Structure formats: structure tokens, C-alpha cells
Structure 1
Amino acid sequence: MVSRTFLKLIISRHCAVDMLTVTVTATITQPASATPTITAVSDCHPHGTTNWCMVGTEEYQISGPTATEEFQAQYTDCHKHGSDTYCVDDTGEDVEVIMESTEETTHSGETAEEPAGSREHCHFHAGVEHCVGGSEEVSCDATPRDYNIPLRIGLLFVILATSAFGVFLPILTTRFNIISQTNMIFVVLKQFGTGIVLSTAFVHLFTHADLMFGNECLGELQYEGTTAAVFLAGLFLSFLADYLGARFVQWRQKKHAATDSEIRGTPTDGSDKAVSASSTPENEFNRSHSLPHAHGAIHNATPMEEKINVMNLEAGIIFHSILIGITLVVAGDSFFITLFVVILFHQMFEGIALGTCIAELPKAAASTLQKCIMGGTFALITPIGMAIGIGVLNSFNGNDPSTIVAIGTLDALSAGILAWVGIVEMLARDWMHGRLFNASLIRSAAAMFALVCGMVLMSVLGKWA
């Protein structure tokens, strides 16, 4: 602190002619390093094992007491011994006041007592705690934890019931004609499910796979596009399954048509006038892409093609549902309940998405029993993953390189499958070639709102799961 002392020196000389007055001002500057003079400290409080006291708005460390029971609320009769400042405690003993700026001093023990996540945001993926913003070294060994196994076993059945509710709700309501497939409620549920599938593919699975392949315990990958390449492989496999399935259905239909023609004695060569004009190359292209033709109606997918599409969707969901079950169980108790609530909503929403697609299958593609089997498979798969996780709970290491590669590959493959099904078989089919193409403004607006809601909600859940 700099203090100024003004000294006024008046030198007066009386002469016969006049009087001269001179005023001299002297400034005395106190060294900046000088410590302030205090008489007492108060509002004392502990930080770890050290007591800190206040002098006005400044905080100073008290050197001397080392145990919490010795700390006092204030110290008085402060005085100096040389350049050091001391105050007197209740027993009459001197304690030293460390006269250093709090900006230059770190509270002893604060680092150890700092709550987890105050400087870094952590969440679990496949039993691995991923943290953003921290600077601590990452350990690739299995983290020893005490797990509440009875709680995990009990909540397994909650996940089972929630998944079953989500997937069977649209199946059973349409089966018993409570809601028809043209009903506004069903349309909204279908588009909400489409948004869920799209968000699951990109926000959940692709991001998780990228986290896995970027794990420090795996080392630096020589091929930086690993996640995208596996994602593309899943997308291509889905396309291949759809394409080969459609070609197989077409081949079987032609074979049956040829057999029927032989039985009726109808010619089957190119001169056959009974063959519809829709068999021309142009019409074949339009039908395969569900586009309208001037001389015919829009081609709808055959029941077998629709069943293949839904099986594609369910395959992608099943792959990552097993991982979801394992991820939930091996998460630490500090995060388990939060992750459980998130996955509970995830399973219900994803069940609705799959259930609406299963419910749309015609009877020629799947009977009610087959639909229930498909729905039951989804309902059981996450609890099965949880059961596997419980079985390997004490030996599971999410940072093991082989585990990282396996989980990252399955996540990226599932993402590719769901991306193909969500964009081509659900989004494009409904909006570009289906009922919503010429739907009324109200129906289109409601469906679009549901679609966006599905994407947003599942993207929000992606922060924790």
C-alpha cells in the first residue's frame, strides 16, 4: 500500500520590498512488499487440515494448528517478530499468520477434497469412465469397485417390463383394432420412432464407437477412419440384405408365374401380350424405387421385402441392446442410477420405434405369433446383456484392447445398419413414397413434429448413455 504524507514547509523571508513564500511537498512511498499491519484475525475456517482466517476481504493461513479440534474461530493480540506476524490463541501461545496473497497460495488439501467432476465431466461407456476436461493419467487396468449386485438384479426386471411395454404397445393396439395404422396416433408414434432410430444411429452408436476407437488404452490407430469405415460396412451390409432379398422375391415370383403359365398353356416368351406394360425396363426401375408411373400405380414392397426390412432394423437394435445391458451393469454405483433412468427411457422409445414397424407388417409377412416373437426378442435382449454383465462383473475390464475393439466394432456396425433402415426404409419410404407424401397439412405437421421430437429426445439422452 502506498501512503502519502504531505509536509508543508513555509520559508518566509522578509525583505524591505516584499515577502517570498515557498511551499515544498514531499512524497514518502511505502515498499510494495511490506505486509499490512493487523491486530486480529477472525472468521477462521478449515481447508483440509489447515486453518484459514479472514482480515477484511483477505484470507490468510494460520501456521501452527494441524488438527481440526485445535482450530479456533479467531486469534487476537497480533504482533510482529521481525518480518513475521504472530497472533495469540486462547491458551496464550503464538501462532504464525502466513502473510501471503491468496492468489499465490493454494489451500492445502483442496485437491484431494475436490468433488469428482468439478473440473471434468465423466460418464460411463461399457464400464469405462470417460472424462472430458481432466488432466490425470488414464489407467488401463480394471477398476476395482464394490457393486450393489441385488439392486442390479432387481432392476433387470424393470428394464424387461419397460422394453416389453414399448415394443408391444403398438403391436397389440393394432392387432385388436384399438388403433388403426392410418390413425393419427399411430402415425405420430411411427415418426417418433423414426427420429429415435436416426438419433440412436448417429448420436449414440457412432459417437460411442468413435470414443472406443479413440481410447488411449488402444493406442493410436494407423487408420484414422476406422469408425467411419466400420459404419459404412454396416450400412452396406444392410443395403445388400435388402437388395438380395428383393432380388430373391422377384426371382421366386417370376418362377411361380412361369409355372402357372405352363399349367394354363399361356406363352411366356417376349411376344406374350398378356404381360403387363409395367414389365418394361422403365417401369421396372420405377417400381423398384417406389416411384409413380404414368400407366400404373406406385409399387409397394412385397410382404417378404417388408419383413426383411424389419428384420434388418431389429438386427441393428439387438447388437447394441446387448452392449447397453453390459454397459449398465458394469457402471460404477456413483453413476448407475443415472444411467439406469436414461436407459429405461431409451429402451421404451426404441421399443416404440421397433414395435410400430412390426405392427405394420401385413399378415402375409408375419402372423400375430411371429410379431410377438420379434417383439419378445427385443424385450429380452437387454436383460440378457445385463445378466452377462453381472456374470463378468468382477473380471470385466472396459479398457482391455480386445474389449475396446469388440465393442467399438459392434457399435459402428449397428450404427450403419440403423442409419440405412432409418433413412431409406423409414424416413424416405414414409415421406417420399408413402402416405405422408400427399398427406394433409395437419397430419404432415404432426408427423414432422413427432419426428423432430424423437431425434431431439434421443440426442439429449446421448449425453449420459
Structure 2
Amino acid sequence: MVGTQEYQIVGPTATEEMEAQYTDCHTHGSETFCVNSAGDDVEILVETEETHTEEDHDHDHEETSSTAESEGQNCHFHAGVEHCTGGATATCERVDREYNKNLRVGLLFVILATSSIGVFSPIFAASFTRMSQKSIIFVTLKQFGTGIILSTAFIHLFTHADLMFGNECLGELSYEGTTAAIFLAGLFLSFLVDYLGARFVLWRQSKKSGTDTERPSDSPDAKSSPSRTPDSAISHEDQRGTHVHMHSNAEEKLNVLVLEAGIIFHSLLIGLTLVVAGDSGFITLFVVILFHQMFEGIALGTCIAGLSSKAATLTSKLLLATGFALVTPIGMAIGIGVLDFFNGSDPSTIVAIGTLDALSAGILAWVGIVEMLARDWMQGGLLNARWLKTGVAMLSLVSGMVLMSLLGKWA
């Protein structure tokens, strides 16, 4: 020590004690030397605050690394990958986590029961209580379901797909609009299915109508009586109205099938990703998924219950509902089977999950906006409904969007 300055002596390994003091310190370029008692120059190093910082970092590195992950981080799971903000960089290797398999098997049946309650309740209510589709209760449930579907498409699926394709383990994508492109593909496919289905149903009904109208045209009375012309025109209009009605029944069933297809895609992923999440965040994620399944079940169940008896029998409705109730537990069962080697950070896994999420988002966006929101509010009864009914329906719609969007914070 010289005053407040501390110096480090540079020299060969000594077999005797270091001298207590050095004198006549001087510099040569960037190097500093002092003179020992023998009159020799000895190089010294000046210890600065930076040196102290580096040493402290080396000594405390192990302690710092152990606490860095827990400080300033907000973590939750996406597809079995712990997504953290404000923390250290995540690894792309498979992380060994603690998995309570017995707990996961037990909660599989809880998800099954919750999904069943959500999807079957509207169907049973409409079938056995004779609840009208125009009743305020049914309208409230349907608009709540519309809000759920819209939020699921954009807040849950599209956002999660974007996170998947933005994962650093996947590397930098050559096309930045990958998520939106797949979303658009799902939306277009939904439109194409609806359009071709409507054309096919209309073609069948027109063909059947043409066969029926040819029979009275052969009658002499039809040819000779001029008074038949107006009746024929009216009959044609009536038949066209019947075609529209029958087409509407078939179209409604097709729309529900498209909706269920989109829901089944991502419900399978929900079950899988729930199970492969580590025990640290499993219970929180499970509670969120529980509400998610209940809300989504109500949304789908209300749409199924809205099908007329001509479009779908009660048996058909129950089969559609059963498909939804089973798909998430099936995903959970698959997840339990692959727990020991599943790696959510593997590039192929990221691409597969991201693609299905974005595709499902496009499907649900089309159904939610075009077939549910626009049809009910721009073409359906809510366009001219009383203010009380309109207000309740709007409140229910917004509530569905808000609640499902809130769940998007954790799942």
C-alpha cells in the first residue's frame, strides 16, 4: 500500500518473504516500476475498481447464477417451454423437470368433466327445456360464446403462434410474415369450405326443384290457362324461399363442423402442452385451462344447440359435443406418454405447434367474425332487437372477449 493506492507486485515465484516496502516508483510507457532494497526495478500492477469488480464477479458467479433466474422474471409455459420475460436467455436443450404423473392422470378426468359440463349444458337446456333460440338466455350464452371464440383466435392462438415462430431456438425466419401467412391460409380454407359447401347444397336443391317443376308443366291446364301464370311465379318464389331455408340449415351445420375442427386442433395442443409444463407452473396453468375449457365448451355447445332438428338430430349434436369433451384429455394422455423425452424447444416441435396454432386461429377468426358475429348482429335478429336485449347481448359479447383475453396472460 502507498497511501490509499494498493499495488500488486509482479515477479518470479519467491522462496522468501516479500519486502515490506519499495521506493522510487516510476513509469516506462504504460508500465510502472518501483525500486527494491537491492536497487533493482520491480514491475507493479495498479489494482483498480474494475479489477475488484472482476474478482467479485468471479467469487460470486455461482451465487449470482443461482438467483438470476428467480429475480426480475415473469415466467409461464408455452408448449412445454418456460417463457420468461426480464430474465436470462433460455436454453434450447431439453430441460429435466419434476413431473408428478399421478397428479396429471387424476386431473385429466377433471378436465374431461369440466369440458363435458361446458359443452353439454347448452344442448340439454335447449333440448329438454324447450328454450327458444330467441330467448334472452340463449342469446346471452351465444354472444358470450362468440366473444370466447374471437379472443381464443387472436389472444391465445395467434399470439402463441407468433411466440413459437419468434423462438430463438428456431433461428431467424427468412420470411417475417410466417405467422400471419399461415393464419390467412386457415381463414381462406374456412371460407373455401363454406363457399363450396353452400354451392353444393344449392346445386342439389336446384336439381331437385327442377325435377319437381317439370311435372306440372306437362299438364294441358298449365299450358291453356293464362290465370296460372301469376300462381306459377308465386310458386317459384315460394320454392326459392324454401331453398334458402334448406340451404341455411345445411350451411349452419357446416359452419359448426368448421368451428369444431378449429377448436379440436388447438384443444389437442392444449392438453399436450398442459401436461409437459413443469410442476413449478403446472397448477396455475391447469386452473387457467380449466376455465378455458369451460368457456370454450359453452361457446361450442351453444352453437351446436342452435342447430335445428332438420340440420342435426339430438344424437348428432351429442356426438359433436363428445368430440370436444374428449380431445383435450386425449392430448393430455399423449403428453403423459412423451413426458420423459419431450423437448418443446426442438425446432421441429416449434414449427409443428406454431403452424397448428396459426391455422386454428385463422379458422376460428373466420367462424367467429363472419359466421357468428356478423350473422347475428348484421343479418340476424339483433339488428332490430329491442334495446334491452341488444344491451344484454353486447355486454355478454364483451364479457366473453374480456374474460378469455384475461386468461391469455397465463396460458
Aligned AA (1:221): L
Bigger Rg over Cα: 1
Are 2:268 and 1:316 equivalent residues in the alignment?
Answer: no
Counterpart for residue 21 of structure 2: none
**Deviation (angstroms), 1:117:** 4.3
Matches within 5 A, 1:1-400: 108=60, 111-112=64-65, 114=67, 116-136=69-89, 138-177=90-129, 179-265=131-217, 274-275=232-233, 302-400=248-346
- Provide the rounded CA distance (Å) in 2 between the counterparts of 1:197 and 1:301: 24
Counterpart for residue 11 of structure 1: none
- Provide the rounded CA distance (Å) in 2 between the counterparts of 1:447 and 1:385: 34
Q: Secondary structure at the residue paired with 1:395?
A: coil
Does the C-alpha gap of structure 1 residues 387 and 262 become closer, same or farther in structure 2, counting only changes over 3 Å? same
- Provide the rounded CA distance (Å) in 1 between the counterparts of 2:257 and 2:179: 24
**Deviation (angstroms), 1:115:** 7.3
Q: Deviations over 1:97-144 (max 9, x none)?
A: xxx9xxx888946524537443121111111111112233x3211111
Q: Secondary structure at the residue paired with 1:381?
A: helix
Aligned AA (1:362): S
- Provide the rounded CA distance (Å) in 2 between the counterparts of 1:437 and 1:155: 43
TM-score when normalising by structure 1: 0.70
**Deviation (angstroms), 1:278:** 8.4
Counterpart for residue 70 of structure 1: none
Does the C-alpha gap of structure 1 residues 300 and 262 become closer, same or farther in structure 2, counting only changes over 3 Å? closer
Which structure is richer in relative contact order (CA contacts within 8 A, separation 6 or more)?
A: 2
- Provide the rounded CA distance (Å) in 2 between the counterparts of 1:165 and 1:184: 21
Counterpart for residue 415 of structure 1: 361
RMSD: 2.8
Q: Deviations over 1:407-434 (max 9, x none)?
A: 1110000000000000000000001111
Contact 2:69–2:87 (CA under 8 A) maintained in structure 1: no
Contact 2:183–2:360 (CA under 8 A) maintained in structure 1: yes
Alignment length (residue pairs): 350
Give the structure with the higher percent helix: 2
Q: Deviations over 1:18-38 (max 9, x none)?
A: xxxxxxxxxxxxxxx89xxxx
Are 2:388 and 1:445 equivalent residues in the alignment?
Answer: no
Does the C-alpha gap of structure 1 residues 238 and 277 become closer, same or farther in structure 2, counting only changes over 3 Å? farther
**Deviation (angstroms), 1:277:** 9.9
Aligned AA (1:358): I
Q: Secondary structure at the residue paired with 2:76?
A: strand
Counterpart for residue 435 of structure 1: 381
Q: Secondary structure at the residue paired with 1:426?
A: helix
**Percent sequence identity over aligned pairs:** 66
- Provide the rounded CA distance (Å) in 2 between the counterparts of 1:278 and 1:330: 60
Counterpart for residue 405 of structure 1: 351
Are 2:408 and 1:459 equivalent residues in the alignment?
Answer: no
- Provide the rounded CA distance (Å) in 1 between the counterparts of 2:401 and 2:337: 34
Q: Secondary structure at the residue paired with 2:82?
A: strand
Unaligned runs of 5+ in 1: 1-32, 35-99, 288-295
Q: Deviations over 1:48-79 (max 9, x none)?
A: xxxxxxxxxxxxxxxxxxxxxxxxxxxxxxxx
